[in-house]
Structure 1
Amino acid sequence: MDITDVHQLALNASVFWGFPGYVFILTMAFTGMRPAELYALRREYAHPTWPASDLDDEQREESIERYLVEQTMPAIRVQYQHQWKASVLTLLPPKYDSHRTLVIPRFLAELLEMLLDSHDSEWVFPSINDVPLAKANFTYRYRGKIADGRRTSTPRSKGGGRGGTWRPLPGWPTVKAYAGKRLYLLRHGHREWIDEDGHSRVAVESRMGHEIAGVEGTYSNVTPTMERAIMDSLQARWQGFVVTSGADSLPSSPKPLPVDLLTWMKGKVSAAQVSNTPSGS
């Protein structure tokens, strides 16, 4: 998975969908969450609200100790997925009951903080019309437009009639690696990234919501050191991208964003350039 393609998807989403779209794409790529889990991500289970907001007393205390006291590791708790059940959109346990905690790189933690500050929805990623994303027919109405590209659209005339649209937008490019394909591939790509970075098998499988069968699975545990290593390697991957892409990675939107994303990205580029400069140079 090419991070440049991922970021272009995020840029396309920011034009079509807004700030939630930009963060949604990057969250999927940097956590490997399943789409239905992202649709159902409630603000109490996302950074920075979680783990202090966890409703399970024992889990909350353990998580605060592990992720805030022992060492600061921002994280998301995968608690639900959204599925239609008897024609009713329902919060269900994640697939295979794979409840899990996903540490996230620092840049993504900052984006999630800004996103939650920008709206008051119970869902981290509200749709364009501020309804649960699972009701928006994401595959048809969002995925294709974000990945396949779009021409600049013109506003519809006041008198109505054919041609034009009520929501005119500038065009954006096709992302060839994902055109006509499922964005679920971002989950597959996340697995490639963490495998490529050499993380332990138990940490990788746990992060993906899988169980290891047999004795290996019984006696293996994910340690905070393993989680820290994943968090740091994902942050390093992002920094390597922004330091080489520079101004080309700056996001844009046809309408004012609820946050100053341009200034934030410039700060990320500058920080990455400093961290990648050898001492004494």
Structure 2
Amino acid sequence: MAYAEKVYKVRNGKQTKQYTWRCRYKKPDGTWGSEPGFPTKVLAEKWGEEQEAKVRAGSYIDPDLSKKPFGVFAKEWMAAQRPRGRTVMNRTERLNRHILPRWQHTPLRDITWFDVEAWARSMTCAHSTTRDCVSLMSRILTGAVDARHLQVNLLYGRRLTGLPAETQGKQKTDDESMWAPPEVVLRLARRMGPVNGLLVLSTAFLGFRLEEAHGLHRRNTLLVRSQPHDGGTFTCPVVRIDKNEGAFAQYFTYDEDGKRKIFRGLEPPKTPLSARDIDVPPFLEKMLRRHLHDWPHDIVFAAPGGGYWWRQAWTIKLRQAADGRQPVPGTRGAARVEPWDPIMPGLTMRDLRHTHDTYQAQIGVKPVLAFEQAGHRYPGIKGTYQHTTPDMRQERLDGLQALYERALRNLGWDEVWES
């Protein structure tokens, strides 16, 4: 039975006649809990009876847990998660750089939407970073609810509005700038050469994510899909995005002391559906076979030396090819660098993945197959009821082959890379 007791105030080391009331109540484990600061005995007893009623109903939240600092619980929440390594890195950087400097010592129960929204509006980083920070805080507070530290997450479902205007770089306003016509892809591939250019060409016609392309192993390249069809067997070459080691990852990890070190290696792809077999059209099968015949490395699109590409190094390589480059005069020990005119300024590997999906729509690939080949979930009941067929696959391969051959004719080329 909850009860209340007086707590006398102390001034200059001496007890005064002023007092408040402290509630004492039975916790779920049978021990006595206390909560001070009530102005009257009635309010203290009422609060205690409410806690004991919640104990009986199974909805009790320990006030001591709700007072836990956000930074302490955030560390517990991060330790309980098992996302991909780069996600851990991004969350850690958001916490250390933006969130914890403001909220580390704030009790969980004192975090309100009013305060969070005001804080978000004062941030000077990119708006996308601000929204990521607020979203991460909301996920952590939802974890606090699940861990019985809070009754409710006051950030859940709230929409961040009223952010101040930010100065942004040049934005892509032309719809066509998000995808590359086949002629552009072929020109870019020729400029980058038979290895790096083949990566660009494969991304546009197969729809790789960058980490999938950089992590592709020769053992997963040009396998064979075989399906019964029309009284016989349908076969086609495939590139496999392996479910266990289908993506190259580069990110920072942190030890218990907060010391940062870099991880570079293979890990599972982005989602379970990302693990897939991608059907390869005839022209790319020929190019890949020719490439692998004399290629000494296990990584199909390895960097010079046979290792994985550093992200920044690959970005520079692509930017020079797509945006153009200035000439550099030759010096002792360094050859002259010839200038390149721009082909498609601003084009990124993500744009090339968009390009693949655009090609699929252009040649009429059935949605259920287009989603599968891109590693996406086909939404709705149709994703359960519809299935891919060999005829669908052959239509897609024929369509991609036709796009490639038409681009060659338009450019007046016989091959992408001249012998």
What's the TM-score, normalizing by structure 1?
0.73
Task: Confirm whether residue 9 of structure 1 aligns to residue 188 of structure 2.
Answer: yes
For the residue of structure 2 that corresponds to 1:75, the secondary structure is: strand
- Tell me what 2:239 maps to: 76
What is the CA deviation profile of residues 220-249 of structure 1, one whole-angstrom value per residue up to 9, with x for unaligned ones? Answer: 2122221111111000111111123224x7
Deviation at 1:139, TM superposition (A): 4.7
Q: How far apart, CA to CA, are the structure 1 residues paired with 2:331 and 2:318?
A: 24
- Alpha-carbon distance between aligned partners in 2 of 1:154 and 1:240, rounded to the nearest angstrom: 38
Match of 2:288 in 1: 112
Find out whether 1:30 has 2:193 as its counterpart: no
Q: Percent identity, please.
A: 24
Shift of 1:128: 2.6
* Structure 1 partner of 2:306: 130
Q: How far has the Cα of 1:82 moved from its partner?
A: 0.8
The match for 2:337 among 169, 180, 187 is 169
How far did residue 197 of structure 1 move? 1.3
Task: Indicate the RMSD between aligned Cα atoms, in angstroms.
Answer: 2.2
Gaps of 5+ in 1: 52-62, 159-165, 252-260, 264-281
Q: 1:170: Cα distance to partner? A: 2.8
Q: What letter corresponds to residue 33 of structure 1 in structure 2?
A: F
* Corresponding residue number in structure 1 for 2:30: none
Q: Could you say which residue in structure 1 is the equivalent of 2:263? A: 88
Residue number in structure 1 paired with 2:275: 99
Q: Partners in 1 of 2:325 and 2:186 — Cα distance? A: 17
Secondary structure at 1:71 match in 2 = strand
1:155 and 2:330 correspond: yes
Residue type of the alignment partner of 1:192: T
Amino acid at match of 2:402: A
Structure 1 stretches of at least 4 aligned residues deviating more than 4 Å after TM superposition: 64-67
1:225 alignment partner in structure 2? 391
Q: Report the counterpart of residue 214 of structure 2 in structure 1.
A: 39
Paired letter, 1:12 = R
Q: Which residue of 2 aligns with 1:245?
A: 411
Once the two structures are TM-superposed, the CA of residue 66 in structure 1 deviates from its matched residue by 6.5
Displacement of 1:131 after TM fit?
1.8
Distance, in Å, in 2 between the alignment partners of 1:66 and 1:21 is: 36
Alignment of 1:234 with 2:400, yes or no, is: yes
Instruction: Return the alpha-carbon distance in structure 1 between the equivalents of residues 208 and 292 of structure 2.
Output: 18
Say which structure, 1 or 2, has more relative contact order (CA 8 Å, 6+ apart).
1
Using the TM superposition, give the Cα deviation of residue 44 of structure 1 relative to its aligned residue in structure 2, in angstroms.
Answer: 0.7
Match of 1:185 in 2: 351
Residue-by-residue CA offset, 1:128-149 (whole Å, 9 max, x unaligned): 343212x352453312112111
Structure 1 CA distance, aligned partners of 2:316 and 2:228?
40
Distance 2:320 2:228 in 1: 40
Specify which of 351, 361, 369 is matched with residue 203 of structure 1.
369
Q: Are the aligned partners of 1:127 and 1:136 in contact in 2 as well (CA < 8 Å)?
A: no
Partner SS for 1:89: strand
Q: Distance in 2 between matches of 1:111 and 1:123?
A: 16
What's the secondary structure of 1:231's corresponding residue?
helix
Query: How far apart in 1 are the matches of 2:390 and 2:373?
Result: 13
Amino acid at match of 1:108: L
Counterpart of 1:115, as a letter, is H
CA deviation after TM superposition for structure 1 residue 168, in Å: 3.6
Q: Which of 378, 382, 394 is the matching residue for 1:216? A: 382
2:299 is paired with a residue of what secondary structure? coil
Alpha-carbon distance change, 140 to 213 in structure 1, aligned in 2, over 3 angstroms: closer
Aligned to 1:275: none
Q: Compared with structure 1, are the counterparts of its residues 228 and 39 closer, same or farther at alpha carbon in structure 2 (3 Å cutoff)? A: same
Aligned to 1:255: none
Structure 2: any 5+ residue segments left out of the alignment? Answer: 1-179, 254-261
Tell which deviates more after alignment, 147-156 or 3-12: 147-156
- On the 8 A contact 2:299/2:306 being kept in 1, the answer is no
For the residue of structure 1 that corresponds to 2:271, the secondary structure is: helix
Q: Secondary structure at the match of 1:72?
A: strand
Name the CA shift for 1:244/1:140 in 2 (closer, same or farther; >3 Å): closer
